[in-house]
Structure 1
Amino acid sequence: MASWRLEENIQRDMEKAQEAVELYGGHVLKAPNRYEIRTGVVVAARFADKLRRTAFAVFGGVVPREEIVRATSELNRKIYEKLISMGVGKLDIVRITVEASVEGGRLVFGEPKIEWFIPHTALEKKLEECEKKMGEVRQKIEALLRELP
């Protein structure tokens, strides 16, 4: 069972961060001191862990871990609010990309880009609903046109 103690979570994240770097990369150097951090495709409920671990992997030797925790917490709160306003569910699939840099010893994140992957079956259902509605509208228009002299 996962621990909820901050110190144990940070240690686990640092271990997972090294694993993520070795397996996935998770970041791209865009310019000197400017990185693009990516979650990859994840279940929305897990985005925060992925971002924090990637931040530890990229900035672990550059800024104190407390700064990484602080900055990613603020970023995660911002992303969470965006996900809620978009209507993204906990089990929906997303990919999050954000630029990050170190400025004056502080970790600074740019505006996150959120991609929401909608299942094919959900799109088919919406399409069927739209086609049905369009058929109804078409019938009403044709009926109105027949009534005209």
Structure 2
Amino acid sequence: MATWKLEENIQRDLEKAHENIELYGGHLLKAPNKYEIKTGVIIAARFADKIRRTAFAVFGGVLPREEIVRATSELNKRIYETLISMGIGKLDIIRITVEAAVEGGKLVFGEPKIEWFIPHSEVQKKVEECEKKMSEIRKKIETLLSEIP
């Protein structure tokens, strides 16, 4: 079993960050020193890597990598707790957007916006369940109305 080494992961993330800059542009400059970081549409299990890589792409030349790792780690904990509370599974499709800025040598993230993409088949199941419940309610109402003199 391979052991987890922070240095190896950081180097891999730095390489992926450079790739992100060239291929995807996962960030948007909103104001001087204020960025919007976007994961794009991903499976939920990949969000932490995507956030960290994009942060390296944006702030790698400005902040020490330890600060980027610290800040993204804290953000990723917040996002994870939110995903769990929302009932989002590891293989569900999501998109995360969050504002980031450098303040006093620290990387500061705003409140993340999480979009959850539900497959059409799941939506259709929910619609059918709702229609069935509505039909049952209508029947109960008709029965109650027929009993009124």
Normalising by the residue count of structure 2, what TM-score does the alignment of the two structures yield? 0.98
Task: After the TM superposition, list the runs of 4 or more consecutive aligned residues in structure 1 that deviate by more than 4 angstroms.
Answer: none
Q: CA deviation at 1:2?
A: 7.8
Corresponding residue of 2:26: 26
CA distance in 2, matches of 1:27, 1:21: 9
Equivalent residues, number: 149
CA distance in 1, matches of 2:55, 2:113: 16
Corresponding residue of 2:131: 131
Counterpart amino acid of residue 15 in structure 1: E
Give 3-state SS (helix, strand or coil) of 2:97's partner: strand
Corresponding residue of 1:91: 91
Counterpart amino acid of residue 37 in structure 1: I
Give 3-state SS (helix, strand or coil) of 2:140's partner: helix
Post-superposition Cα deviations, 1:91-130, rounded to whole Å, max 9, x if no partner, equal 0000000000001110000000000001110000000000
Q: CA deviation at 1:4?
A: 2.0
CA distance in 2, matches of 1:4, 1:59: 24
- The CA RMSD measured in Å over matched residues stands at 1.2
**8 Å Cα contact 1:63/1:105 also seen in 2:** yes
Post-superposition Cα deviations, 1:1-35, rounded to whole Å, max 9, x if no partner, equal 98621100000000000001100100000000000
CA distance in 1, matches of 2:4, 2:30: 34
Give 3-state SS (helix, strand or coil) of 2:142's partner: helix
Provide the identity percentage.
79
For residues 45-60 of structure 1, what are the structure 2 equivalents within 5 Å? Answer: 45-60=45-60
Post-superposition Cα deviations, 1:25-73, rounded to whole Å, max 9, x if no partner, equal 0000000000000000000000000000000000000000000000000
Which runs of 5 or more structure 2 residues have no equivalent in the other structure? none
CA distance in 2, matches of 1:109, 1:98: 7
For residues 1-149 of structure 1, what are the structure 2 equivalents within 5 Å? Answer: 4-149=4-149
Normalising by the residue count of structure 1, what TM-score does the alignment of the two structures yield? 0.98
